[in-house]
Structure 1
Amino acid sequence: MNGAPGSAWASLRSADGVEHRLVLGTAANDERMPLTPAHLFDLASLTKTFTTVAALRLVETGVLDLDAPVRPLLEVGAGDGAQRITLRHLLTHTSGLPAEGRAWRSGLTGDELRAAVIGSELLAAPGAVHRYSDVGFISVGELVERVSGRPLAELVSELAALLGAASLTWSPPAELSVATEVQPHRGLVRGEVHDELAHALGRPAGHAGLFGSMDDVAALARMIGAGGVGRAGRVLSGESIRLMSTPVVTADAGYGQAVGLRVRDAAWMGDTDAVGHTGFTGTAFAVSPRTGDFAVLLTNRVHPTREDADVSAVRREFFGFLG
């Protein structure tokens, strides 16, 4: 971890079935707090994976259809083709929606901001282009709330119980939170979501905002590697795990995009046949579909600043053992 900013927890399960843990650094460089297994990291875009699982659980029960237009349920996007957007488009970043919703920069917050983001003008026809999109996953979070009649936080809490992710939360205690960035308009961010859009939305969103420990993320990775079975029972069917592991489109960066997960993303996985996801704050996990082995690396790379905080080389070295 030489050169990696902030602190980190690492976990991996090797072919012998033994899980190994390693603590690196401190909870915050400015205070030199000892990092413990109870500390919670801002998981950033790892939130998208939990949102994906929550959505697929509703697909399995027939509440949602992956390939039906979402427009009768939620008006996502604006412009030509928006009426054709499906849940599969949203979960594979092929909806044509922009990468991010910038309306928070003009002062919009809460429900007004949420409506502006979900109603963003399309930049491409659905299915035509792969564009990683926070807007798409904010829409997924809103969609699962609409069709289930339950808050996203409640759906994820139910999921966490099945996974055995006991400390996964949207509202972490500050004393257990690993500090992220010192932002000009907020100061040192600790115990609040780092993502500016998620913060401005003011309630749980599908793209970012979850906090968790290494054990929480390991529980998610373990379930994917086990074909959908969590510590407290089955979470997803084998078919849903296949959807999360099988690429349906190739991104410009060269990785395969499956439902909710990236496949063989060499930029951070190295030469590894694995599926997984990263988060802007420095979080990441990867799973080998072939062996079920997994690895989790949580860092607060944006502490105290996101500038010159590239941990790609560290990730490639770390996840390379999955082979």
Structure 2
Amino acid sequence: MSKKRVLITGAAGFLGSHLCDRFVKEGFHVIGMDNLITGDLRNIEHLFKLEQFEFYHHDVSKFIHVPGELHYILHFASPASPIDYLKIPIQTLKVGSLGTHNCLGLAKAKGARILVASTSEIYGDPLVHPQNEEYWGNVNPVGPRGVYDEAKRFQEAMTMAYHTFHGVQTRIVRIFNTYGPRMRLNDGRALPAFIGQALRGEDLTVFGDGSQTRSFCFVDDLIEGIYRLLMSDYHLPVNVGNPDEISLKDFAEEIITLTNTTQKIVYKPLPVDDPKQRQPDISRAKEILGWSPKVSRKDGLKVTYEYFKSLPEEEWFKQPKEFVAKK
């Protein structure tokens, strides 16, 4: 019997590459697609020697053609960190709108089930805590983060429209802060930023007074939740994340202890529209998917720190990628 075929967009990114690994392991024929604007081929180079893996260097904001059968699509193409989407706002909006439209159109044409990667950012700076899937969010559409937040909100609306109007089998995962090997040290998010500063011998930068909270989920747990959601019969959004909440000040202290450094914490002004609280209500994931995170923050951080520490030292000092502005 021939293998089931799955298309994973954003395949060379942090989450996309882990999804490629999981679906290869599950016996699928995996087609990875990425324009490499934020992705890195090194994340998937170990898969190129496999017969059941192929790679398309392509921008999903343009028409997508994949010959042959497709059974599943996972749409994970998108800049996902502030340092990216603040520098490439137009591409961020296009991949969330045009890219999602193209993926949904492909799913319709192929009769494939599609899972789209949404985010906790659709809740904006939330007025409800913890955040559950019934909450509609508190988002500033014209603020600096609006290009990402609204791209994801539009993506969910487009996905539901294809489900209700065209009968496409759709799944929506709302991803909360995730970490683990293959994150970029210079992507601007708190965890890699703190570890990068510790490796370079710099003080750790906390924005605001550090009382804002995040909830960090280890990548292996997240991938398991995504896989279960794809294989489920549930089409409404599902939060997948770890509800173990921590303030960024306390988290910075944890990183100082983990890395055994002597640096101190320095404080800078809070960026515009930076969410003050992030904690997923995962009741729906527990009930429908039988899923909850298994890896403790202590264990996950140890693995992640060892990964970053193992990188060539020039990677510790590498500046964020410069993007070519496009309309």
> Normalised by the size of structure 1, how large is the TM-score?
0.27
Specify which structure has the bigger relative contact order, considering alpha-carbon pairs within 8 angstroms and separated by 6 or more residues.
1
Higher-helix-fraction structure? 2
